[in-house]
Structure formats: structure tokens, C-alpha cells
Chain A
Amino acid sequence: MPNIILIGINHKTAPVALREKLSFSEEETLAALEILKQHPGIREILIFSTCNRTEILYVATRSGTVDALITFLSGCKQVSPSEFVPALYILRKDEAIRHLFRVASSLDSMMVGEPQILGQIKQAYRMAVKAGTSRVLLNRMMHKSFSVAKKVRKETGIGDNAVSISYAAIELANKIFSDLSTKTVMLLGAGEMAELAVDHLISHDVRQIRVSNRTFENAVSLAERFNGRALGFEERVNALTDVDIIISSTGAAEYVITADQVRKAMKKRKYRTLFFIDIAVPRDIDPKINELSNVYVYDIDDLKTVVSSNIQQREQETVKAERFVSEAVIKFRQWLDSLAIVPTIKALNDKMTAIVDMECDKTLSHLSHLPEPDKDAIRRMTQAIASRVMHDPIMFLKHTGGHRDDSLYLNVARQLFNLDMLENQ
């Protein structure tokens, strides 16, 4: 029985600092796949790395592969195992399959229902195919995960809802501004959530990014990451004239933007709309600013209200999506079980017997002059032919072990004799 294993860390188990350390770029992924496919205990393998997770999905043929992969990760990423092993989850068999399907369907995302994840998984799969490390099991499993994800997207509403704070902010921005690609965003301070919001704005075509931070160096490095421009912290007030969306998450104890500053800025910008997203606790943006015309201020609690108005519907949709995932896991499990030797041989024999019986009956019904013993003899003979024909293929399938990929041959046999008819329908 092939052993499907998934190990990884994600946003639930590891902080961003650790996730960053263990993330793989495309080149790194390809290089790692090249090394790992030499490992005798690993038959198929795929590495999946986004900003929220790094996961390795593989088919093991012997025990001890998890430790080997931990050593590999630690060596390859220069992180000591004690640092990341506590955050690591190790899932086997059905749990691994379910996890993959949930990830692909965006049920395991930081923002449940966000659509980018499927594209990222497809990309990871493409790299595994390129490296030649995805074969029968992973091929089928990945394709199944794509179809589940599509089904979830199409038949449940989880993709439509603003299911996270950052998505709620973008949804609001989209209801305030008609074309985000012409707007400028200023990020005040830094922080995981604020950066996530900026990431999402960028994926919604926002191109102009300004970053202002008390520590100018941080502003510069963040600006570099977002392809934007760094501003000194004192410049933030003047920048109010030019930017359209301000995302703030500084650690300041008092307001970093006051109503008076905004009032002056609004005059200068001819009352073009300003949108403040205040993620900081305590707040950065004076809530009085919301009273000015054409200015909108949302703090973290306001965004949560926006999200929670969608939550009930989301929960229903999630239940539905989880059901799709469970169905897919069961189906995949059935296919996986059928890929074992005994059921395949049984299916082969059943099919041959059925064909022989049918043909015999057809022929013998026209030969009514033959006495019963002769008919029996003919029946026995046809059965014997079928058994002899099937003998070598069955012996070949039975001859397991060694370095051979059994699932590959079993899959070929099942396709050659069309044994999966029912499953494919």
C-alpha cells in the first residue's frame, strides 16, 4: 500500500518570520525536487510554497522519510530543526488527501475562499511534473484536488464573500473607488495584517505604493518588497494630498493622523475621496476624521462588523464545501484501494470470466444439437484459454517489491483492461 504523507507549516502553526525562512522560490523548488527524487524512500514528491504555507506532499515506500525530510529542510534552509519542528504537521493517508483538497479549495486559507491558492497549487504541480516527480498517485490526486476546488468555487458561495478583514477592506475600497489601478496606497508602519492588505490591493491592480515608517530603513525595505517608494515618517502628512488609501498599523500610543491634518489635506486635494484603514490597536487614525465629507475611516472593529455580516452565510457555505471535500476524499480512497494487487487481479478475473461466459452462452445457444457433456467441455476449454492468457499478466502484477513502482503498473493494467469503468462514469 503506497503511503501518502504531507508535512508542512502554515499560517496557523507558524509565524510569518518562520514561514519566510522555510519558503521556496520556483528555482529552489525545482532544485529541491531534483535532490529529493534521488531518495530511495520517496517515489513521488511535490513541494508547495506560498507566503502562508510550505508543504511537502509525497509518496513514501519505506519508513523514516519524515526524519529525512526534516534533515533536508534544516540543511537546505539553514534552520535548526528545533526551531520549526514544533510548528510542523505530519499528515498521512486520508488526512493528507483531505488536507490537500481543503487547501486547494481555499478552505485552509487565511482568507477562506480566496481564489489565488488554486493557481499556486497548479504551479507547484507543474513544477513537480517538470522535475518528473509526479506520477500515477500524485497526478491523480492533484487533478482530483483541482476538480474539487472548481466544484467548491462553482457550487458554494465561499468565494463571493468578504471573508476576512483584509478582503473586507478591499471590498470597501472597491465600493468607494471605481478603478483601484489609478489609486495610490500609503502604508503607515508595518505589520503582518497591513502588509497582507497591501498585498491584496496590489493583486487588485493598485500600482502606486508609498511606505512610511518611523524607522526609515524599514520603510525602504518594505517599499522595495512592494515595488513602491519610501517616505520619511514626517512626510506622511504632506503625502495625504496625493494618496487615496491609507493603511495604518503603527505601534504609536496616540493618533498619527489628526482630523486637522486631514481637513487641510482635503482642501488641497479638492475633496477627492480618502479612505483610511486603521488596523492598529490602539488606533492610529482619529475617528473624528470619518465626519469630514468624502473621507471614510474604518478601524479593525468596523472591518470585523463588515466581515461578520457575512459570517453566517459563510458558515453554511463552508459546511457545503467541506462535504464536497469529504466526498472527493472517499472517491480517491476507493480508487487508491482498487490500485492494490488483490482487487486488481480479482477485477481482471471477473472481467475475463464474464466475457467468456457471455460468448460461450451466445455460441452454444446456436449449437443445440450438441449433447450436454460436449457443451461442458467447450465451456471448460474457453475458461482454460482465458486463464492461460491472463496467467502471465497476473504473475507480472503479483511479482511485487524491488524498486518497481507497483501503482504505476497497476494503473496501467486497470486502464489497459478498462477496469475503472464505473469510477470514471
Chain B
Amino acid sequence: MAIQTGNTLLQIAFLFYVSSLAGYLLFLVRQKEQIQKISFYLIAIGVGVHFAGIAVLGVAIRSLPVQNLVQNLSMAALAFGVMFLYVRYKFNLKMLGLFTAMILSVTMLAALLLPDTQAPPNEALKGIWFYCHIILIFAGDATLGLACGAGILYLLQEKGIKDRNPGFFFKRLPSLDFLDTVSHACITTGFFLLTLGLVTGFVYAKVLWGKFWSWDFKELFSMGAWLVYAVLLHLRLYAGWRGRKSAIMTIVGFGIIVFTFLGVNLVLGGHHQEFTK
């Protein structure tokens, strides 16, 4: 019963995300501030409903609802939505809403379409270290996803200016400096969260299996993504990797994260496998 309620709430959240996406697309064309505000509120309400849905599911199964692929997608989308609200509160980057609405709509659509197989309760997926690991990793990945969004917007704006042909996006996007600032702020925050997420993951692995590191594919790719961002932050500081190069790196980095999240389970296997059936 509770699971049914939770799923209904997720469906309602999906509707909010899709209407917000429609709103943002309209805003992209028409540039009416009112439309942008409404679209933003739609996402915000959607995130609220989504949170309630996941909370209901969590109470029903007495754990974080990340037991199968559908639940993982839904959790990832929620993390993305929450982090978007935070970043949007810090920076007035309106077009990031369009990117977020796209990601949320697609992710939730996948979550609603894929079969929601009920995994048997897994006692391994509990405990404070596990919760911290999951929440931090999801929040970190989401923030790095937003960095990627800001990076894409940067490349769009940069191309027009570089080609001396400011076109459709010129008026619709803020300055390069600002986009770079937002992207950088997201990278630093996301990297920090990701680092903590990995550390708690190691601790959790030590508690569960008695060892920090087990050469699992997901571990390897996570470390790979972490290294990309570490190198990017380092190069920015010491070699002036900002702007275009940094924007491309955020997209590469987020690509690795998405592959780590989905691809590794689907293609390569490993001990994270069972979490995302």
C-alpha cells in the first residue's frame, strides 16, 4: 500500500518535471520572465513531491530506496533536483533550469518505464556508513552534472562569440565569466561531496567486507572520474585551465560518472552489480 502511494507520488513528480520542461522550452523561445518563474516553481514543487514519494518508499522498506535500478534512477533524479534548487538559489542562471528539467524528465521517464522488480530485502544495504555513502555520492554526482550543464551552456555561448556570430543563444545566456563561475562552483562542491562519498564508501566496504578496496569496476571508474575532476581543479589553479577547456572537461567527467552509474552495471559487472538490478 505504502509502496503504491510512493510510486504515485513519483508519477506526479514526473508530471511536474515534464510541465516544467515545456515551460522552460517556451521560455527559451519567448523569453518571458513570468514563464521562467512558473517553470522554476514547477520544478521546485516536483522536487518536493518527489522527496515525499521517496520518503514514503523508504519508510515502507525501512531503508534507502536504492535497491534496484528504478529506485536508483529515481534517487539520482531527486539528488539532481535538490542540488539544482541549491545552485539556482546561489546563482541566477535561468537556463540551468532547462538542462535540469530535461535530465529530470528523461531520468524519471526511464524510472517509470523500466520494470520495478522488487529485490529481496538486502541487509547489507543498511547502516550509517551506507546511508552517508549513498547520499554523498548521489549529491556529488548531481552537482557535477550541474557543472556539466553550465559547461554546455558555456560552450554554446562561447561558440557564438568566438565565431563572431552571436546567434540565438547570445541574448538568452549570461556572460562567459558567469557561466564559468557557476561551473567552477559546482565542480568544487561536487568534487568535495564525491570525495566524502568515496571515503565513506571505503569505510563501508571495510566494515562489510573487511577491506577498503576490492578492484571492483565501479570503484575503478569512480576513482577515474574523481581523478578527472582532481586534475581539472589542479590545472585550473596552476595552468589556467578555465573557460572552454574546463567546460569540455566537465562534460567528459560527467560522461564517466554516468557510465559509472549505469554502464558499469549493465556492461562490466562487479560487486555493485546487485544494487542496480
Report A415 CB to chain B, min CB distance, Å. 43
* A172→B242 contact, CB < 8 A: no
Cβ contact within 8 Å between B176 and A176: yes
Task: Give residues 249-307 of A contacting B (CB, 8 Å).
Answer: 266-267, 269-273, 290, 293-294, 296, 298, 302, 305-306
Q: Is A177 an interface residue (CB 8 A)?
A: yes
* B166 and A273 contact, CB distance less than 8 A: no
- Closest B residue to A162 by beta carbon equals B166
CA distance A302 to B164 in the complex (A): 6
**Contact call B177/A176, Cβ cutoff below 8 A:** yes
Residues of B150-178 whose CB lies within 8 A of A = 157, 161-162, 164-166, 170, 173-178
CA distance A53 to B173 in the complex (A): 36
Which interface residue of B157, B174, B176, B245 has the most chain A CB atoms within 10 A? B176
B277 at the interface (CB under 8 A from A): no
Residue B131 CB within 8 A of the other chain: no
> Nearest residue in B to A174 (C-beta to C-beta)?
B175
A290 to B162, CA, bound (A): 7
Given contacts A271-B243, A293-B243, A309-B166, contact A172 B161 (CB under 8 A): yes
Chain A residues with Cβ under 8 A from B166's Cβ?
172, 175, 306, 309
Report how far A309 CA is from B171 CA in the complex, Å.
12
Residues of A within 8 A of B175 (CB): 174-178
Number of A-B contacts (CB under 8 A): 57
Q: Is the CB of A273 within 8 A of B240?
A: no
In whole angstroms, how far apart are the Cα atoms of A293 and B248 in the complex?
13
Q: Known contacts A178-B177, A294-B244; is A305 also within 8 Å of B165 by CB?
A: yes
**Given A177-B177, A296-B162; A271-B242 close (CB under 8 Å):** yes
| B165 / chain A contacts, CB cutoff of 8 Å | 305
Does A179 lie at the interface of the complex (its beta carbon under 8 Å from any beta carbon of B)? yes
The reply to whether A293 and B157 form a contact with Cβ atoms under 8 Å apart is no
Q: Which residues of A contact B162 (CB under 8 A)?
A: 290, 296
Complex: chain A residue closest to B169, CB-CB: A175
Cβ-defined contact, B241 with A175, below 8 A: no
A293 to B241, CA, bound (A): 10
Q: Is B181 located at the chain interface by the 8 A CB criterion?
A: yes
Nearest Cβ distance between residue B244 and chain A, in whole angstroms? 5
A272 touches B242 (CB 8 A): yes
Cβ B170 vs Cβ A294 within 8 A: no
CA A390 to CA B155, docked complex, whole Å: 78
List chain A residues, Cβ under 8 A from B177: 176-179, 273
Query: How extensive is the interface on chain A, given as a class?
Result: 20 to 34
A244 to chain B, nearest CB (A): 10
CB of A94 to closest CB in B, whole Å: 38
Candidate in B157, B166, B173, B174 with the most chain A CB atoms within 10 angstroms:
B166
A175-B176 contact, Cβ under 8 Å, with A271-B240, A293-B244:
yes
Chain A nearest CB, measured from B4 CB (Å): 48
One of B161, B242, B244 near A175 (C-beta < 8 A)? B161
Residues of chain B lying within 8 A (CB to CB) of residue A175: 157, 161, 166, 170, 173-176
Q: Which of A123-178 contact B (CB under 8 A)?
A: 172, 174-178
Tell whether, in the assembled complex, residue B161 and residue A267 are in contact, meaning their CB atoms are under 8 Å apart: no
Whole-angstrom distance from the CB of B78 to the nearest CB of chain A? 31
B178 pairs with A293, CB closer than 8 A? no
Contact across chains for B241 and A176 when beta carbons are under 8 A apart:
no
Cβ of B176 and Cβ of A273 under 8 Å apart? yes
CB atoms of A305 and B240 under 8 A apart = no
CB proximity of B232 to chain A, nearest CB, Å? 14
The contact of A270 among B161, B164, B174, B240, by CB within 8 Å, is B240
Q: Which residue of A lies closest to B178 (CB)?
A: A178
Docked complex Cα distance between A175 and B243 (Å): 13
Contacts known (A178-B175, A273-B177); A293 close to B164, Cβ less than 8 A? no
Q: Which residues of B contact A294 (CB under 8 A)?
A: 242-244
Per-residue interface assignment for chain B, residues 10 to 26, with 1 indicating a CB less than 8 Å from any chain A CB and 0 otherwise? 00000000000000000
Q: Which residue of A lies closest to B242 (CB)?
A: A271
Shortest B198–chain A CB gap in Å is 29
Scan residues 176-223 of chain B and give those whose CB is less than 8 A from a CB of chain A.
176-178, 181
Distance in angstroms between the alpha carbons of A266 and B161 in the assembled complex: 18
Give the CA-CA distance A296 to B161 in the complex, in Å.
Answer: 8
Tell me the minimal C-beta distance from A361 to chain B in angstroms: 55
Indicate if the CB atoms of A176 and B161 lie closer than 8 Å: yes
16 contacts between A and B (CB under 8 A): A172-B161, A175-B175, A177-B176, A177-B177, A178-B174, A178-B175, A267-B240, A271-B239, A271-B241, A273-B177, A293-B243, A293-B244, A294-B242, A305-B164, A305-B165, A306-B166
Known contacts A174-B175, A175-B161, A176-B175; 16 further A-B pairs (Cβ under 8 A): A172-B166, A175-B166, A175-B170, A175-B173, A177-B176, A179-B177, A271-B239, A271-B242, A271-B243, A272-B240, A273-B176, A273-B177, A290-B162, A296-B161, A296-B162, A306-B166
Interface residues of B (CB under 8 A from A): 157, 161-162, 164-166, 170, 173-178, 181, 239-245
The 10 closest A-B pairs by CB, nearest first: A271-B240, A270-B240, A178-B177, A178-B178, A302-B164, A178-B175, A294-B243, A177-B177, A175-B175, A176-B176
